[in-house]
Structure 1
Amino acid sequence: MKKLIATIAMILMVSTLIPSWAAANVGINEKYGVPIVVYGGNLSEDEKASVAESLSVEEEAEVEEIEVTGEDLVTYIKDGDARARMFSSAKITRKDEGEGLVIQIVTPDNITQVTTEMYANAMLTAGIENATVEVAAPKPVTGHSALVGIYKAYEVNGEQLDPERTDVANDELEVATELAEDVDEAKVSELLTEIKKQIAEQNPASREDVEQIVEEQLSKLQIELSPEDRQLLIDLMDRIRQLDIDFSQWSTQLEDLSKTIEDKIGTIVNDEGFWNSVKEFFRNLANTVRSWFN
């Protein structure tokens, strides 16, 4: 009996130390409306059901469900292909001002190119702030179409996005995934964020000023790019410079994103061995409890 009491006490103690990922459902948010789930338009019914399960749709008090297609791609991206196949999907929950962007890829094995930080960077460029966004796909895909779905969700929710900004944001995502073929993904996100922070702080007046900022950050972060990739990056950042953005407000969001990326690069919490040890602990604990009844 003493052993039973001690083990139960240990379980209770551990449970208080572990974050509560499944917060109590507080019902419908009357300020911002229900979460919007955007399904890739090329999903089969079985794939759509799989995505809905991954996004925990049934756990919501209520959701609005829409689809994103190649036609939407043309709406938000100048050179978009209406025949594009769309599989990656997302659930968007708007939050209060100041809460920032929280991005989670809930099927990480199936989103093969775009990282959470890449999504966050592109969303800020597009003018989307203060939301929790969960991304999922039923099979391996690059993850690009989820961004278009996020645009559509915001407009369904009554927001008017600047098409120039959404086009540049898509360009940013393309450049980020291309750079990540030769540079670590986290370093690519760090590079993009730091360059954008400097653009916000320095307010460069010309392409030459932007080029200097890019060169400084490449040197600071010790990143080597080919001449072609370097040119892609400069072209992108010069487009960002010319956007109608309140850079004074942008700085805070970029600072938060920068901190997140730094933590990701420097932490060991994302180490697979760490999580395997956590799983092993609970597996052993379950076996111990099971043995009492056998």
Structure 2
Amino acid sequence: MKKYLVGFIFVLMILSPIYAATGFAITYGETTYGNSNWKNSMDTYFQTKTTKNVSDAATKVVTASEVNAISSNITGKTYPASQIYSCAMVDLSYNKGINVSVDTSKITVVTPKMYENALKSTGISNGYVVVSSPVSASGEAALAGVLRSYEIAVGTPIPDQAKKAATQELYTETQIANQTGQNPDQISNLFSNVTDQIQAQNITDTNQILVIVNNVAATMNINLTQDQAQQIANSLADSQNAQASLTDFKKQLQNVSNQASQSGGILDQIMSFVQGIINYVSNLISDSQVAHKF
């Protein structure tokens, strides 16, 4: 009987991690991945930001060609393979909205709020995100790595239309913040407030969005030129129009997020069940030994 029990417990121990979805992924810029010291420094940094073991994360290298395919027509920049530094970690077990942590000692332009806005544009409403780089970087190209991390964690691709819209939104935010001299988070809040209104009313018309942009900017005491307001309206219209392409991704994201957040509870139940069996068998053996003495 003990032999069968040991075998049963062994099977449970093998199966439990298979059925406990983690939704845990890390992406490395190809330049960083090609330098063992830089990669190790990123692993060390990510480990300080999570209680999970980073060696358990699914990983992917983000190449210059991937970044350029999405961003080059938007930013006008083409990155060589020697300049893809940024890395990202995503954990879907975090289920209290989006929590973005940016290593501000290395990422110099893009703020957590900017990443959060871009993620929401791709239908992402939850997850713990960490962004860093082994060297100083603006962080604009890092969005490709963040989105790739989500694709790996979820197991479903994000449509290119949504990726490009998110990239355009992030780039527009950084440009408007630079042009107006406003605090970057203030500009991010402007984008977020407008997005909340157009999503609540399901508005996709650029002219209607432009009216909302001007109204929200006035309320927030942000002075925009006509061209700046139009850029924001165009960007948010693209993001809104991309929502229809995200149905499958958002559905799978929700499923994996639920599994990831519940995985700890499932494992606890399995271990409790196993412990119950061990206690039961131990009692049987003890009773048998007592009976044998008599």
TM class, shorter-chain normalised?
Answer: 0.5 to 0.7
2:85 is matched with which residue? 87
The change in CA–CA distance for 1:185 and 1:206 in structure 2 (over 3 A counts) is: same
Q: Distance in 1 between matches of 2:73 and 2:114?
A: 21
The change in CA–CA distance for 1:117 and 1:205 in structure 2 (over 3 A counts) is: closer
- Letter in structure 2 aligned against 1:223: I
The change in CA–CA distance for 1:163 and 1:244 in structure 2 (over 3 A counts) is: same
- Secondary structure, aligned partner of 2:242: coil
Quote how far apart the aligned CAs of 1:116 are. Answer: 0.5
Quote how far apart the aligned CAs of 1:195 are. Answer: 0.3
Q: Distance in 2 between matches of 1:234 and 1:92?
A: 29
Question: What whole-Å deviation, never above 9, does each CA across 1:122-168 have from its counterpart, x for those lacking one?
Answer: 01112223211111112211012221112222333312212111100
Q: How does 1:16-55 map to 2 (within 5 A)?
A: 30-33=19-22, 35-43=24-32, 44-55=35-46
Answer with 80-89 or 115-124: which moved more: 80-89
Equivalent of residue 52 in structure 2, options 57, 60, 64: 60
2:141 is matched with which residue? 145
Contact 1:69 / 1:82 at 8 angstroms: preserved in 2?
no
Q: How does 1:274-285 map to 2 (within 5 A)?
A: none
- Secondary structure, aligned partner of 2:96: coil
Contact 1:88 / 1:144 at 8 angstroms: preserved in 2?
no
Q: Which has the higher helix share?
A: 2
Q: How does 1:260-275 map to 2 (within 5 A)?
A: none
2:96 is matched with which residue? 99
1:173 is matched with which residue? 170
Contact 2:87 / 2:133 at 8 angstroms: preserved in 1?
yes
Quote how far apart the aligned CAs of 1:99 are. Answer: 2.7
Q: Distance in 2 between matches of 1:99 and 1:29?
A: 25
Quote how far apart the aligned CAs of 1:234 are. Answer: 1.8
Q: Distance in 1 between matches of 2:72 and 2:227?
A: 22
Q: Aligned Cα RMSD in Å?
A: 2.7
Contact 1:72 / 1:82 at 8 angstroms: preserved in 2?
no
**5+ long unaligned stretches in structure 2:** 1-15, 251-294
**5+ long unaligned stretches in structure 1:** 1-26, 251-294
Quote how far apart the aligned CAs of 1:198 are. Answer: 0.8
Quote how far apart the aligned CAs of 1:202 are. Answer: 2.2
TM-score (normalised: structure 2): 0.67
- Secondary structure, aligned partner of 1:55: helix
TM-score (normalised: structure 1): 0.67
Q: Distance in 2 between matches of 1:239 and 1:165?
A: 8
Q: Aligned pair 1:120/2:112, yes or no?
A: no
